[in-house]
Amino acid sequence: MGPVTVVPPPLSAKNVDSFAYPTMKDRIPVIISRIVDNLTRNRDKIIKNYPGEDSLTELKVIIGAMSQLRYEVMTNKPAAPLRDGRSDSFAWNTELKKETEKAGEEPKWFDSAWLWMECYMYRRVCESVFMSNYLKDLDVFEEQKQAAFTNSYKAISSLTMYLMEILSEQELTPLGSMTKNYFLDFLQLSLWGNKCDLSISAGNENHQEHNPIEQLAKLKPFILIDQAEDVFQILCSAWERLGGQPGQVDIVLDNAGFELVTDLCLAEFLVSTGLASKICFHVKAMPWFVSDVTERDFMWTLKQMSAMNHLAISRFSQKWKSYLQDGKWSLRVSDYWTMPNDYNQMKELFPNLYSDLSSTDFILFKGDLNYRKLVGDLQWDPTTDFSVALRDFKPAPLCVLRTLKSDVVVGLNPGQAEDVKKIDGNWMINGEWAVISVQSVDPSTSESTAH
């Protein structure tokens, strides 16, 4: 038996010096107010897209529910059971009961675990929409997500042209050194794509304007942990294990807009250089943390790209649609990604998802929320090993690409956190700093090594 890990307490808004506190006090109320604004401003469009004799009444009910939710957050009311009867509501209400039993009272916004309450907030937003008849499929964040894509046109253009150029001009053998160098570039592009999420900016415009490739060298010193080479090594080991065939890669997506395009470009690079045989993208089952990708966002992005008068953008989107048809790429939706639980609990709560993930050769997790769920959103000492913070979550070799937007980080060297803090007091929350953290799992022994 290995050493027993003492698990620290969760991040919580009860610590007024933590980022959880201003999130609850300011950012979440602003996010809810923006939903109300958006629904009010787009009233006619919504009624037109979701016609029905009661559409307008339902829209008003949703707006009312948003005001009620904002009031509940601001006055620290206890979490109430979900009432929408959606397939996940039983699991959610079971979690609510468990939390209540653990604490001796219902979870509250400013007293309980930040991760739990923040997920509950987005689930409540969805509840108000799911409770309607005509507006059931309304995505209250759609406009913001679509604007984030449209406003990143220049960066998307540079990125896709760069990808097209290297794929057509270079002889890239799967395990060659040139492939490795380009792979490292695309992995970093996907990492920095994570700067562009909309919940951190409380829904303010947050898009990519500059040429992303030119920025890579400048951004390199901001990667606090860089295990990108280990990722390449994992893909090479899969090759060898599979007798000279590439393995499957799963990507647990985060945000729509520019970030999604960086992820798709990475996936294109992987399949067209023979580093991966198949890609499975995991998307959210409902609108989530403002900018997270749903299946609809994914398909919308491809459709928009096809309609663009731009050679590289439209070509890639055609190619990507054909991958979806021939199974080289697939999408998978699971309710687990929109539960409040961390990934250590996945094996017990969603064994099918865990076993699916165990059958792949490599999992890439994108973004800050995935990072929080991997390490449990706990107050770890920053020098804790990544594998210790993951606890029992080791379905397959995995990597997380994350810009820091919440005050939890592990895997740093002694003194590193203190040094970065001297340079940038907001290093943990401003999205300027990043980590590429890896856990390699040897499939024969299931032993993991992480740094």
Ligand X SMILES: O=P(O)(O)OC[C@@]1(O)O[C@H](CO)[C@@H](O)[C@@H]1O
Binding site for ligand X (CB under 6 A): 23, 118, 194, 197, 199-200, 254-255, 289, 367-369, 372, 405-406
Distance CA 170, CA 172 (A): 6
Q: Is 216 helix (H, G, I), strand (E, B) or coil?
A: helix
- 23 contact choice in Mn ion, ligand X, none (CB below 5 to 8 Å, kind-dependent): ligand X
Cβ at position 406, least distance to ligand X in Å: 4
**Does 95 help bind Mn ion (rule: CB under 5 A)?**
no
Query: Residue 446 in contact with residue 394, Cβ under 8 Å?
Result: yes
Q: According to CB under 5 A, which residues from 361 to 390 bind Mn ion?
A: none
341/440 with CB nearer Mn ion: 341
Tell me which DSSP letter residue 325 carries.
H
- Only one residue has tokens 């280990």, namely 230
For the chain, the distance separating the N- and C-terminal CA atoms, rounded to the nearest angstrom, is 21
Query: Residue 147 in contact with residue 34, Cβ under 8 Å?
Result: no
- 95 contact choice in ligand X, Mn ion, none (CB below 5 to 8 Å, kind-dependent): none
Question: Which of 120, 149, 192, 289 touches Mn ion (CB under 5 A)?
Answer: 289
278/405 with CB nearer ligand X: 405
Please give the single-letter amino acid code of residue 415.
Answer: G
409/450 with CB nearer Mn ion: 409
Distance CA 408, CA 3 (A): 23
58/197 with CB nearer Mn ion: 197
- 200 contact choice in ligand X, Mn ion, none (CB below 5 to 8 Å, kind-dependent): ligand X
Distance CA 332, CA 353 (A): 10
- 55 contact choice in ligand X, Mn ion, none (CB below 5 to 8 Å, kind-dependent): none
Distance CA 190, CA 432 (A): 14
- 160 contact choice in Mn ion, ligand X, none (CB below 5 to 8 Å, kind-dependent): none
- 88 contact choice in Mn ion, ligand X, none (CB below 5 to 8 Å, kind-dependent): none
- What does the block give as tokens for 370? 């995935």
- What does the block give as tokens for 355? 């076993």
The residue whose Cβ lies closest to ligand X is: 405
Q: According to CB under 5 A, which residues from 190 to 209 bind Mn ion?
A: 197
**Does 23 help bind Mn ion (rule: CB under 5 A)?**
no
- 406 contact choice in ligand X, Mn ion, none (CB below 5 to 8 Å, kind-dependent): ligand X
Query: Residue 182 in contact with residue 174, Cβ under 8 Å?
Result: no
In degrees and rounded to multiples of 5, residue 424 shows phi and psi of: -145, 105
Tell me which DSSP letter residue 227 carries.
-
20/312 with CB nearer ligand X: 20
Please give the single-letter amino acid code of residue 15.
Answer: N
Cβ at position 366, least distance to ligand X in Å: 8
118/263 with CB nearer ligand X: 118
Cβ at position 118, least distance to ligand X in Å: 6
**Does 255 help bind Mn ion (rule: CB under 5 A)?**
yes
Those residues with Cβ within 8 angstroms of residue 207's Cβ, 6 or more apart along the chain or in another chain: 147, 148, 151, 152, 155, 196, 257, 258
- Only one residue has tokens 């559409």, namely 55
287/367 with CB nearer ligand X: 367
Cβ at position 114, least distance to ligand X in Å: 8
**Does 254 help bind Mn ion (rule: CB under 5 A)?**
yes
8/22 with CB nearer ligand X: 22
Cβ at position 146, least distance to ligand X in Å: 17
- 250 contact choice in ligand X, Mn ion, none (CB below 5 to 8 Å, kind-dependent): none
Distance CA 114, CA 68 (A): 20
User: Pairing relation of β-strands 447-450 and 434-442?
Assistant: antiparallel
> What DSSP line would sit under 184-243, residue for residue?
HHHHHHHHHHTT--STTTTT------S-HHHHHHHHGGGEEEE-HHHHHHHHHHHHHHTT
Q: Which residues bind Mn ion (CB under 5 A)?
A: 197, 254-255, 289, 292
